[in-house]
Structure 1
Amino acid sequence: MLSKRLFALAAAAVLLAACGRAEKPAGDTLVVAATAVPHAEILEIVKPKLAAEGVNLQVRVFNDYVQPNLLVDQGQADANYFQTKPYLDEFNKERGTRLVTVAGVHVEPFGAYSRRYKAIADLPKGALVAIPNEPSNGGRALLLLHKAGLIQLKDPTNPLSTLKDIASNPKQVKFRELEAATLPRVLDQVDLALINTNYALDAGLNPSKDALAIESADSPYVNFLVARADRVNDPKIQKLAAALRSPEVKTFIEGKYQGAVLPAF
């Protein structure tokens, strides 16, 4: 008799557990692809807030600018956080994807770095300069070099300027176009490298102190939370967007990065 009663209690416990699982909101996990610094660090800050709102945020870290977009487009990640709108627009155009911006979070002033020289003006004739090899960041690098006086562009307002758009190169500098993530690693091999701030920070560089030239605080290159067009209004993604633009995140960015990363809200 006792064994039957124990069996009945055990069965009831299993049934209650199953009911509990059934009542748990489906799809409460939000997978976001990001680069390590500062994006993944900022996402970690909002995890507790999202957890309190019933969203389990999972961050997948990448060291390139292609996989995060492909994963979102393929539905293997819900959103990503690493890129500017000019880069996204060019990616969509080239890949046929339909990713859209959800919320602007921060600006990473793009910088020029050197281990050999202390000023852009010190670069010798024929200096070797490394820039990103994709249109958005490559154009961004050339705009910064134009502003610093190293080169002159045909149209200094064109964010997608290429090497063919250089109108004047008085020092006859030579350019190497490389994948953005590799630029910190070649800093000892070139005279100057134009590096995205996330990769600069990851390499131990301090943009506000180490950069020989850097974008101003009014840079239009805001880093966005991005998702597929058909997922923009997903409540989980909207909760993340709100959390990323909260006063807590603004305070964290200002305190953690000391001007190397700037809130965009």
Structure 2
Amino acid sequence: MKKNKKVSQWLFGAALVLGLTGCGQKDEAVLKVGATVGPHAQVVEAVAREAEKQGLKVEVIEFSDYITPNAALADGSLDLNSYQHLPFLQTYNANNGSHLISLGESILMRMGLYSQTYHKLAELPDHARIAIPNDPTNGGRGLLLLADANLITLKPDVGHKATLSDIVENPKQLEIIEIEAAQLPRSLEDVDAAAITMNYMMSSGLDPKELGLYLESKDAALAVMVVAAREEDKDNADYQKFVKLYQSQPVRDFIQQTFNGTIEPAFQ
């Protein structure tokens, strides 16, 4: 009987420990959100602070490239990510057989043409070396920016899928070089100008207003960033709560106060 009593006590103690451990795990559940370094991560950190006030714990995981955050989201390492526009997300899905979706708009992150050598667009000389991103979507976006600035002409209706072979007029005979997006700010020392998204300009400590030659329109579809999730999680209540907080007034105020117009809320 004493032996049975000891076994019963041990089983009760084990069950109690397991029960407490299970409760602890539930209480410590964390929403993992990926973002690229710089403004994207800063804004998600602001959302995380708002979320914690409402009992939703958010861990911000930073990345230094455009591909890994989607790979991590697709394989379940992340719950959400916030760093890209919808065409980039769709291109990633098409190239990787993934099913990632947008849960809502986040911030307006415009691309610009920047230079450490010249101060006006008209100053760019013939045969100037211009760097653009080397990923398909943002490379096309860079070419659209050059076309909008009247530096080149592209084939009609190619949109963000434009490639170097779609250039039909290049009156200044610009030499257009494709470079990894994260390396573009550093390339400014070696090229005459570069097409760089705002997050990489700011995360590199460069002043967009000081170095800017030409800025993408606020109406450009590729300037609107989204919060992405896996398709099967579209109805997840915590994920929807996160997006709602992302689009809240406190986060809008943070964006406006922190970035002073260089980055703006994309949500209405």
The TM-score, its normalising length taken from structure 2, stands at 0.89
Alignment partner of 1:260: what SS?
A: coil
The residue that corresponds to 1:212 in the other structure is: 213
Find the aligned partners of 1:156 and 1:205 in 2 and give their Cα distance. Answer: 33
Alpha-carbon RMSD: 2.1
Cα offsets for 1:3-29 (capped at 9, x unmatched): xxxxxxxxx999777544434536721
Unmatched runs of 5 consecutive residues or more in structure 2: 1-11
Cα offsets for 1:25-52 (capped at 9, x unmatched): 3672111111112111111112232223
Q: Does 1:22 align with 2:41?
A: no
Find the aligned partners of 2:217 and 2:43 in 1 and give their Cα distance. Answer: 22
The residue that corresponds to 2:163 in the other structure is: 162
Alignment partner of 1:150: what SS?
A: coil
The residue that corresponds to 1:197 in the other structure is: 198
Q: Does 1:79 align with 2:90?
A: no
In structure 2, relative to structure 1, the CA distance for the partners of 1:173 and 1:156 (3 Å cut) is farther
The residue that corresponds to 1:130 in the other structure is: 131
Find the aligned partners of 1:36 and 1:147 in 2 and give their Cα distance. Answer: 28
The residue that corresponds to 1:9 in the other structure is: none
Alignment partner of 1:45: what SS?
A: helix
The residue that corresponds to 1:47 in the other structure is: 48
Specify the code of the residue in structure 2 equivalent to 1:135.
Answer: P
The residue that corresponds to 2:187 in the other structure is: 186
Alpha-carbon contact 1:120-1:150 (below 8 Å) kept: no
1:258 to 252, 257, 260: 260
Aligned residues: 255
Find the aligned partners of 1:58 and 1:154 in 2 and give their Cα distance. Answer: 44
Specify the code of the residue in structure 2 equivalent to 1:95.
Answer: N
Post-superposition offset of 1:264: 0.8
Post-superposition offset of 1:54: 2.7
Cα offsets for 1:144-180 (capped at 9, x unmatched): 1111111111226612111111110001011110110
Alpha-carbon contact 1:154-1:167 (below 8 Å) kept: yes
The residue that corresponds to 2:150 in the other structure is: 149
The residue that corresponds to 1:233 in the other structure is: 235
Alpha-carbon contact 1:108-1:198 (below 8 Å) kept: yes
Specify the code of the residue in structure 2 equivalent to 1:100.
Answer: I
Cα offsets for 1:110-154 (capped at 9, x unmatched): 100111111122111111110001121111111111111111112
Find the aligned partners of 1:104 and 1:195 in 2 and give their Cα distance. Answer: 21
In structure 2, relative to structure 1, the CA distance for the partners of 1:196 and 1:171 (3 Å cut) is same
Find the aligned partners of 1:71 and 1:15 in 2 and give their Cα distance. Answer: 35
Alignment partner of 1:193: what SS?
A: strand
Matches within 5 A, 1:59-78: 59-78=60-79
Cα offsets for 1:64-89 (capped at 9, x unmatched): 00110001100111111110011111
Find the aligned partners of 1:209 and 1:219 in 2 and give their Cα distance. Answer: 22
> Which stretch of structure 1 is more off in the superposition, 127-136 or 25-34?
25-34
